[in-house]
Structure 1
């Protein structure tokens, strides 16, 4: 029961990132870049603290660090900017689907064995994403913001692939956040942006919660329960994240679930399920 409750709490934390980001931007309480910067800084701070308490210190080196830092930045800013024009559940679904497709492509690049079920699942999930993003496809989606979320999904997929090289997931995550933080600040505030800086107390608080609690502590909790979960159980658990985000968007933000979106969600999540679940042994 304890493992189930901790896993459920982690999935809620992951989905909450979408709800918090959309809530802050939809209310105009913060701009997208500032949300990403504050989320990154607060996440780095809490992960550094966790490493000091649980590991006795912080190690910044390690295999795949450059790829981890670069892909983390791509994810953070693609994610934050995309939620200027996407509902919470829709954004989470696009992100999740693209992450799985990216990891599938990464396996192909590394010449991993790809059973037919993974090809079939990737094709089904990709068709669902195409339906979501296709102009005039019946589902009202901002193509530009959908592409930004897809870019974020590629970033998180590459980040997940790079994370496989880490021997200590908590240390590796903390190192990526800490090294990405100054680069994120520079990229966020020194490069030209398309929107003015907006900072209110509400927006800052939501960004800190997203960074320190639902990202930093959420990732740490996930890595603590992951060794106790079978790979198939962990994969299925993550299928719940877009669904929880949809529910959160409807409850907290008044978002509407349409039939077309529900059917596209079934395609994306169903395709992912086909890819990650192994058939029972005969």
Structure 2
């Protein structure tokens, strides 16, 4: 695969992943849709898009995946949606990314991995940035929304770890999305009396599921063929930055000094851990 194609595919995937934060935030802030309905429509739309992609591409058409992974996927999507009722796009994306990486690093340590000096410094820097972001104060993000996004990050970290070495990632993801529809249906049934829908909100949810999630994952898995492990890990650091810029430009969200400092500490610290780990490997 040529370098220009890899670059374009990677850029499109990062824009799609950041787009999930922007679409969810604008839907829950500016339309009448509720978080549970957004979650269900996103999962259903993603399942349909991924099923179609698997059916249309070359190779096996059967879906794989597992129910535990589907539950982790659903937990991520639900907590993600409910957190964006109160969080800004930038803060949510930063907390999500930090929690995902912390979960994966923590599991690695539990399994016997050891961090070297620079990796320890990077981890301490990232954790310090996360604590600084959440400390009480006028510019601190809402506690409940922050807690829900951290749950979403842990769930996505678990989902990512379960997906390692499980086969064709696109067929696995499609199968997990399809299974997650069952959990989404249960959520919609439980919250039916609070359900609220409008055309714009449904449209944003469908775009989040079909385009930012379904097509985004397909593009990302294609780009991974041409990326080194270190590049694949570090390029994802751009997602919170893209979400922050999008939130400022498109949604008019404010920029606080706390968010800027926390972003530098969290992203810089995680980058140090990832790059040094891959070099050591």
TM-score by length of 2: 0.93
What residue is the counterpart of 1:229 in the other structure? Answer: 227
What residue is the counterpart of 2:125 in the other structure? Answer: 124
1:86-110 Cα offsets, whole Å, 9 max, x none, are 0001100000001000001111222
| Alpha-carbon distance, 1:59 to partner | 2.6
Would the aligned equivalents of 2:94 and 2:240 in 1 still touch at CA under 8 Å? Answer: yes
Q: Distance in 2 between matches of 1:166 and 1:29?
A: 39
Q: Distance in 2 between matches of 1:115 and 1:174?
A: 37
**Following superposition of structure 1 onto structure 2, how do residues 195-234 of structure 1 map, counting pairs within 5 Å?**
196-234=194-232
Greater mean alpha carbon deviation, residues 37-46 or residues 117-126:
117-126
Q: Distance in 1 between matches of 2:74 and 2:119?
A: 28
What residue is the counterpart of 1:257 in the other structure? Answer: 255
1:170-202 Cα offsets, whole Å, 9 max, x none, are 01111110111112211x123358x82110000
1:109–1:70 Cα change, 3 Å: farther
CA RMSD in angstroms comes to: 1.7
Q: Distance in 2 between matches of 1:163 and 1:227?
A: 17
**Which stretches in structure 2 are left out of the alignment for 5+ residues?**
none
Q: Distance in 2 between matches of 1:90 and 1:103?
A: 20
Would the aligned equivalents of 1:48 and 1:58 in 2 still touch at CA under 8 Å? Answer: no
Q: Verify: 1:60 aligned to 2:76, yes or no.
A: no
| Alpha-carbon distance, 1:56 to partner | 4.0
**Following superposition of structure 1 onto structure 2, how do residues 66-81 of structure 1 map, counting pairs within 5 Å?**
66-81=67-82
Q: Distance in 2 between matches of 1:129 and 1:139?
A: 14
Question: Residue 170 of structure 1: SS of its match in structure 2?
Answer: helix
**Following superposition of structure 1 onto structure 2, how do residues 174-193 of structure 1 map, counting pairs within 5 Å?**
174-186=174-186, 188-192=187-191
Q: Distance in 2 between matches of 1:171 and 1:112?
A: 30
1:37–1:107 Cα change, 3 Å: same
| Alpha-carbon distance, 1:126 to partner | 1.3
TM-score by length of 1: 0.93
Q: How many residues align?
A: 275
What residue is the counterpart of 1:109 in the other structure? Answer: 110
Q: Distance in 1 between matches of 2:231 and 2:40?
A: 33
